Structure 1
Amino acid sequence: MRILVTNCNTTERMTKEIEAGARAAASPGTEIVAMTPAWGPESAEGWLDSFLSAAAVLDLLRGIDENSFDAVVLAGFGEHGREGARELLRIPVVDITEAAAHLACLLGRRYGVVTTLDRTSGMIEDSLHTAGVLPNCVGVVGTGLGVLELGDEQRTASALVTAARRLRDRGAEVVVLGCAGMTGMDRRISTELGVPVVDGVAAAVRLAETLAGLSLRTSQIGSYAPPLPKTRRWHR
């Protein structure tokens, strides 16, 4: 099985971190191919960045050989673009936001999301609403750290524990890591707080494997029908 994992920003260091997390979660025999958009923001932290990121990722995906992959994982938490990607491709497209929330709902009645900056909370809530899992969410709490600051593991872990504790106090029974740059921190936070913690990249990879293993493909009827034939001018 071969899964394409796309970073939502142009920072190669983060792509490598996401790739490592995806490979750690993947089943034996699953090949992970990580790609970085050729253009767009160096980190996605707001509506403008998110829309630019979505266009850049779609630009990347339109250039792949779909027959070379069994599924795609979009590694941008709360970012736009997943619906467009599902129109563009027939193979399963799994978004880490949606995947993590669905798994969280299987582990507890209420969950909460820890993310980077508070300014991204609205986008994440909208994404969860579209996925149909917002009613189970007690809230989205920022750590005060920007995406590019997550490389300091000790500082990140401390901020995540503080934010996750606030969510637990609100009634969250499960915590979701709300940024692909937080991948690999789940067990550390879970041990500290005594609650299940879901890593979005790991969740999405495993769900992608399941869909591909069951030979399930994106429906071509209705919402995700192929794009209408017309001239489309891309950035180049």
Structure 2
Amino acid sequence: MRNVRIVVTNCNTTREMTEEIVRGARAAAGPGTTVTGLTPAWGPESAEGWLDSFLSAAAVMDALRTYDGAPYDAVVMAGFGEHGREGVRELVDVPVVDITEAAAHLACLLGRRYGVVTTLERSCGQIEDSLELAGVGRNCAAVVGTGLGVLDLGDRDRTGAAFVAAAERARAAGAEVLVLGCAGMTGLERVVGDKLGLPVVDGVGAAVKLAEGLVALGLTTSRAGSFARPVPKRRAWGAE
């Protein structure tokens, strides 16, 4: 397979988190794949709710629209449950893989029902909506919060304990596979997988592997219908 160049977009402005996500993406990437992180120049410090998510979507699209770095073959959107996925697919001419969707699709290959363990409870409804929009919501047994904010995830011992406790609730709801519900949890699957006795899917790694596969197969977003290029808008009446 030829070398693949992937841009991974963080959904917030915290560069330390971008660096952590990129490390996870590179660990999952195959030989010859180049991973570049992209941090929005503006937007929320951490995306934790509807308002943050909509601001984040605009900021990520703006970052890609004004991107002037090396050419890339695919985009991985590293915001779990965040908005903007469909807009980016309309914007760029390469495959766009969202970590939410990627993790859920892989989880469906490993068990009949999966559970998502995420950060704050307030994010659960947003994630459920994203999964429904992606067509994988019916296989989701539960979306469970750990009670930790995005910026709290750096404490791996605390995060691991909170994840295991939340994962037990997801398993009790019928989950046969678990999904890390935040890009900041990348790497945690290696820590908690054995404790839980269930497969644990990291969305960043899943998205990277799917992006590599789409590039290798020469596939990208369809321009028929939903993601067709928008028709240029006419000037409003009376505009000069």
Asked if 1:177 corresponds to 2:183, the answer is no
**Distance (Å, rounded) in 2 between the aligned partners of 1:21 and 1:227:** 35
Match of residue 229 from structure 1 = 232
Q: Which amino acid aligns with 1:221?
A: A
Q: Provide Cα deviations, 1:64-98, integer angstroms capped at 9, x if missing partner.
A: 36981110000000000000000001200000000
Q: Which amino acid aligns with 2:220?
A: R
Alignment equivalent of 2:214, drawn from 204, 211, 225:
211
Give SS of 2:44's match: coil
Q: Provide Cα deviations, 1:28-68, integer angstroms capped at 9, x if missing partner.
A: 10000001000000000000000000000000111236981
Give SS of 1:224's match: coil
Larger radius of gyration: 2
**Distance (Å, rounded) in 1 between the aligned partners of 2:15 and 2:57:** 17
Asked if 1:121 corresponds to 2:114, the answer is no
**Distance (Å, rounded) in 2 between the aligned partners of 1:192 and 1:186:** 10
Alignment equivalent of 1:188, drawn from 184, 188, 191:
191
Asked if 1:32 corresponds to 2:32, the answer is no
Give SS of 2:198's match: coil
**Distance (Å, rounded) in 2 between the aligned partners of 1:102 and 1:208:** 13
Q: Structure 2 stretches of 5 or more lacking a match?
A: 235-240
Q: Provide Cα deviations, 1:160-184, integer angstroms capped at 9, x if missing partner.
A: 0111111111110000000000000
Match of residue 166 from structure 2 = 163
Alignment equivalent of 1:109, drawn from 108, 112, 133:
112
Alignment equivalent of 1:82, drawn from 82, 85, 100:
85
Distance 1:66 1:110, change over 3 A: farther
CA contact (8 A) 1:66 1:91 kept: no
Distance 1:117 1:172, change over 3 A: same
Alignment equivalent of 2:19, drawn from 16, 20, 24:
16
Alignment equivalent of 1:202, drawn from 177, 201, 205:
205
**Distance (Å, rounded) in 2 between the aligned partners of 1:93 and 1:214:** 14
Aligned pairs, number: 231
Q: Provide Cα deviations, 1:117-146, integer angstroms capped at 9, x if missing partner.
A: 000001100000001111100110000000
Give SS of 1:155's match: helix
**Distance (Å, rounded) in 2 between the aligned partners of 1:40 and 1:216:** 31
Match of residue 67 from structure 2 = 64
**Distance (Å, rounded) in 1 between the aligned partners of 2:71 and 2:51:** 32
| Greater than 4 Å deviation, 4+ residue runs | none
Deviation at 1:229?
2.3
Deviation at 1:9?
0.0
**What's the C-alpha RMSD, in Å, of the aligned pairs?**
1.2
Asked if 1:151 corresponds to 2:154, the answer is yes
**Distance (Å, rounded) in 1 between the aligned partners of 2:67 and 2:113:** 38
Q: Which amino acid aligns with 2:232?
A: P
Q: Which amino acid aligns with 1:163?
A: A
- Identical aligned pairs, as a percentage? 70
**Distance (Å, rounded) in 1 between the aligned partners of 2:63 and 2:27:** 24
Give SS of 1:124's match: helix
